[in-house]
Amino acid sequence: MMTQPLVSVRDLKKHFTMGGPLFAPKPVLRAVDGVDLDIRRGETLGLVGESGCGKSTLARTLIRLYEPTTGSMVFDGQDVAHLSERDLVPFRRRVQMIFQDPYASLNGRMTVRDLIAEPLEIARIGTPESRTAKVHELLARVGLHADHANRFAHEFSGGQRQRIGIARAIALEPDLVICDEPISALDVSVQAQVVNMLEDLQDQLGLTYLFITHDLSMVRHISDRIGVMYLGKIVELASNTDLYARPSHPYTQALLASIPVPDPTATRPADPVRGEIPSAMAVPSGCRFRTRCPMATELCASSEPALRDIGGGHLAACHYAGEAAP
Partner 1 sequence: MTAATMGTPILSVRDLATSFFSQRGEVQAVRGVSFDVHPGEILGIVGESGSGKSITCMSVLRLLKATGRIKSGSALFDGQDLLALDEADLRDIRGNKIGMIFQDPMTSLNPTLTVGEQVIETILRHRQATRSEARARAIELFELVRIPSAAARLKSYPHEFSGGMRQRVMIAIALACDPKLLIADEPTTALDVTIQRQILGLLRDLQARLGMAVILITHDLGVIAEVTDRIVVMYGGLVMETGPVRDLFARPMHPYTRGLLASVPDLRDDSHKRLTPIPGSPPDMAHPPAGCPFTARCPHAMRQCAAALPPLFGDSHAARCWLHHAEAPRIAGINEVAA
Ligand X SMILES: Nc1ncnc2c1ncn2[C@@H]1O[C@H](COP(=O)(O)OP(=O)(O)O)[C@@H](O)[C@H]1O
The residues of the shown chain that bind partner 1, judged by CB under 8 A, are: 50-51, 157-160, 187-193, 195-196, 199, 214, 216-218, 220-222, 240-241, 244, 254-255, 257-266, 268, 270-273, 276-277
* Least distance between partner 1 and beta carbon 314 (Å): 15
Report the partner that residue 159 touches, choosing among Mg ion, partner 1, ligand X, none (CB closer than 5 to 8 A by kind).
Answer: partner 1
Query: Does 230 interact with ligand SF4 (rule: CB under 6 A)?
Result: no
Q: Interaction with ligand SF4 in 260-299: which residues (CB under 6 A)?
A: 287, 289-290, 293, 295-296
Residues 6+ apart with CB under 8 A from 233: 33, 34, 35, 288, 307, 317
Min CB(125)–partner 1 separation in Å: 32
> Among ligand X, ligand SF4, Mg ion, none, what does residue 52 contact (CB within 5–8 Å per kind)?
ligand X
Q: At a CB cut-off of 8 Å and minimum separation 6, what does 213 contact?
A: 46, 47, 48, 181, 182, 183, 184, 219
DSSP string, 72-98: EEEETTEE-TT--TTTTHHHHHHEEEE
Are 95 and 62 in contact, with CB atoms under 8 Å apart?
yes
Q: Compare residues 126 and 278 and give the one whose CB is closer to ligand SF4.
A: 278
Does 227 sit near ligand X (CB under 6 A)? no
Choose from ligand X, Mg ion, ligand SF4, none: what does 225 bind? Cβ within 5-8 Å by kind: none
**Is the CB of 56 or the CB of 61 nearer to Mg ion?**
56
Residues between 79 and 118 that touch Mg ion (CB under 5 A): none
Which H/E stretch holds residue 55? helix 55-62
Q: Which of 213, 215, 115, 202 is nearest to 156 (CA)?
A: 115
Which residue of 231, 280, 317, 318 would you call a contact of ligand X, by CB under 6 A? Answer: 280
Helix axes 158-170, 128-141, angle to 10 degrees: 130
129 binds, options partner 1, ligand SF4, Mg ion, none, Cβ within 5 to 8 A by partner type: none
Ranges within 20-59 binding ligand X (CB under 6 A): 29, 31, 49, 51-57
- The option from ligand X, ligand SF4, Mg ion, none interacting with 16 (CB < 5 to 8 A, set by class) reads ligand X
Question: Comparing C-alpha atoms, which of 73, 63, 55, 66 is closest to residue 229?
Answer: 55
Residue 222 is given by DSSP the state H
Q: Which of 40, 35, 30 is nearest to 9 (CA)?
A: 35
**3-state SS, one letter per residue, for 102-144:** CCCCCCCCCEHHHHHHHHHHHCCCCCHHHHHHHHHHHHHHCCC
Nearer to ligand X, 29 or 179 (CB): 29
Q: Which does 250 bind (CB under 5 to 8 A by kind): Mg ion, ligand X, ligand SF4, none?
A: ligand SF4
Site residues (CB under 5 A) for Mg ion?
56
